[in-house]
Structure formats: C-alpha cells, structure tokens
Amino acid sequence: MTDTSETPANETSTTSGSRMRTVLFQSFGDPSVLAVAEVAVPAPQPGQITIDVEYAGVNFAEVMFRRGQFPVDLPHFPGLEAVGTVRAVGDGVAGFETGDRVAALTLGGGGNAEVVAAGAEHAVRLDGELAGLDGTLAAGALCNVTTALGVLTSAGHLAPGETVVVLAAAGGVGTAAAQLARSLGAARVIGVTSSPAKAEYARGYGYDSVVSYEEIEHEVAERTGGAGADLVLDSVGGAFRSSVTGLLAAFGRHVVFGNAAAEDVTFEGNHPWYTNSSLAGYNLGGVAGRAPALLRAHLERALSEVAKGHVRVDVRVLPLKDVAHAHELLETRASTGKYVLDVRS
C-alpha cells in the first residue's frame, strides 16, 4: 500500500484549505490497490454531520467492493462505520452538536478516514447508557451486531425454542449472532467454521457446538432428532449454499447476507415450494434505503446490547496504515472477530 494525493471531484462538498488522510483505491484488485491519500476535508451536506474519526471498522463488504463484486465508483473511499466526535452539523439536522461523541454507519463509504460525512439518521450519540461504551467496541459493533440482529429478527423471524445454524461462526457477525440468538430464545445454536482453530475460538461465544462444513449435516440431524434447523444464516456462498436446504426443518428459513466465496448459486423459482423452505436476504444498505427507521432501531439496540455487556465483541486494533493487512486477513479467511482501525495513529 502506498501514500498518494487525491483531490475529490466535488470541491463544493469540501472544507476549503483543510486536508486529511483517507484510505482509497483507484482500481479493483487485491489488497495492494489500497492507498492512504491526503484529500480535502468534507463539509456536511443537508441532513449530514461530519465526524472527526477516532476508530473505524473494517468489514468484509469492503473486501467485496475492492474486488469489484459490487459496482462502486472509482476512486472509492472505503469504510462503513466510524466513531468519533461531531465536527460540523449540516442544514436540517437536529439532535447533534459540535463535540458530541457519536457512532455512525457511513454507508456511502469514507469511514476509513480522519473525517467523514454521515447521514444524521445513521448516527447515534454515545451518551446516556452508551456513554461508557469503548470507542473500539462501538466501531466493531456498528455493522456486525446490527446485521446479526437484523438477520435474526427481521429476515430470519427467529422464534423461541428454534434451532439456528450460523455459517462463518467465528467472524464478527457470526459471534454476535450466536449471542443474540441465545438471548432471543433459541434452543440450540450450532456454528460452522473452516478450521479447528476457528471452531475452538467460536465455542467461546455461546454455541452449543461448532463443527466443520463436512460435519454439519450429521450434527444438525443429531441435535434435532432428524427434524432439521429452523434457521440457517449464510454469509459464505459458494457450492455449500446450494446444500443448505438439506439442513432445514419443514418451513425452515435460509437467510443470505453475504458471499465471501465470491461464487453464487442459482435457485429455481419452484425451490421454496418443492422444499417447504424460505429463502430470504438481508443487506444493511438496502434496509437503510427502504426502511431507515427499522435500521435505526436495530442500530440503537445493537449498541445497547454491547454497552450492557450482553454481546461481547472481540476487537483487534490496527493503525490506519495497516488497512491492507486487515483486508488480507479477511480475504484469506484467516481472521476471527473484528478489525478496527485507529485512525489517529
């Protein structure tokens, strides 16, 4: 990763004379395309606040953006979550003042930077019961715990007494989902990982058992008396995705919320009918666009669960300059927990 200098295309949205460091990439590819650049500081547009960022999360979604799996404009400024203090408040924004400590989803990107503009509707003041929430934990929870909550509730409709299977059980969403599923009344929570080391790690997060992909069919049958799982959470994709239906109980739900394998599969339209199953999806950006009030409720609850100690987030903090290393670890599936950038270092 190299240092460079870049001038944003929209000069009207910047603060004259002020510069900052940010992560960007100007072409799609492996982690080496990531660079730390110096750019103009953004000014808040109507409905936005700008944040002096202290900590910024790194998510697998940003790996997929960097690889070109999703259409994003170039250059692209990654970063979907940021924690810091309010720098400035745009027109039409109520409830925030300069200096407020906040956590924000930066769904337009740019969170891996010293300053970011965020929609006020996606920001939460870290006061009241959230006042004592550590900044690294807040940054680590914004996307992962919010997604886990949305996947289990709005997409997965988890009911008390049900059996849940979580693929990628050792990741940031997986470990949060296990804890939340338990608190929401799941009778059994089974995790699936790609290595014994990850399985050992994941067992500390409330799973009844954690097994390999080769073992999961037998494990689900054994744990449910052959009935199957009620809910499977799938962020992995690849060939295994087409076999998930075989794990499901009658009227079980398969919720897709990622594609780490960068390999999709096709289901026929008659698939739910023939299999007595449901296929659902959860996309954080999609919820933000179509159900913003619901997303905010999930966001506030997610941060509250972490602040109360009900959900434990395992954070590994890296300096901003090591963002490419975080991407490498995520992409090789060698990671556990959550990577957070210390933007001040």
- Which one, of 232, 182, 175, lies nearest residue 200 by Cα? 175
Percent of the chain with pLDDT over 90: 84
Q: Which of 29-38, 112-121, 296-305, 323-332 has the lowest mean pLDDT?
A: 323-332
SS3 sequence of the chain = CEEEECCCCCHHHEEEEEEEEEEEECCCCCHHHEEEEEEEEECCCCCEEEEEEEEEEECHHHHHHHHCCCCCCCCECCCCEEEEEEEEECCCCCCCCCCCEEEEECCCCCCCECEEEEEHHHEEECCHHHCCCCHHHHHHHCCHHHHHHHHHHHHCCCCCCCEEEEECCCEHHHHHHHHHHHHCCCCEEEEEECCHHHHHHHHHHCCCEEEECCCHHHHHHHHHCCCCEEEEEECCCCHHHHHHHHHEEEEEEEEECCCCCCCCCCCCCCHHHHHCEEEEECCHHHHHHHCHHHHHHHHHHHHHHHHCCCCCCCEEEEEHHHHHHHHHHHHCCCCCEEEEEECCC
The answer to whether residue 12 scores a pLDDT higher than 60 is no
Using CA atoms, how far apart are residues 51 and 260, in angstroms rounded to an integer?
30
Please count the other Cβ atoms lying within 10 Å of the Cβ belonging to residue 270: 8
Q: For 46-83, write each residue's pLDDT tens digit.
A: 999 999 999 999 998 999 899 998 889 999 999 999 99
Quick one: what percent of the chain has pLDDT higher than 70? 94
Nearest to 175 by CA among 139, 210, 132: 210
Q: Max alpha carbon distance in the chain (Å)?
A: 67
CA 291, CA 285: separation in Å to the nearest integer? 10
Region 39-50: mean pLDDT is: 97
Here the tokens at position 63 are: 């790996």
Q: Which residues contact 105 (CB under 8 A, 6 or more apart)?
A: 80, 81, 118, 122, 123, 142, 143, 146, 284, 288, 295, 299
- C-alpha 56/C-alpha 260 separation (Å) is 21
Task: Evaluate if residue 14 carries a pLDDT over 70.
Answer: no
Would you place residue 2 in the very low, low, confident or very high pLDDT band (cuts 50, 70, 90)?
Answer: very low
Residue 6, pLDDT score: 43
Q: Give CA–CA dist 311/179, Å, rounded.
A: 6
As a residue count, the chain comes to 345
Q: Judging by beta carbons within 10 Å of its beta carbon (0-12, 13-18, 19+), is residue 117 exposed, middle or buried?
A: buried
Model confidence pLDDT, tens digit, residues 222-264: 999 999 999 999 999 888 999 999 999 999 999 999 887 878 8
Domains and CATH numbers, the chain: 2-142+314-342 (3.90.180.10), 151-285 (3.90.180.10)
One-letter amino acid at 132 equals G
Enter the pTM of the model. 0.90
Whether the pLDDT of residue 13 is over 90: the answer is: no
Residues paired with 4 in a beta bridge: 37
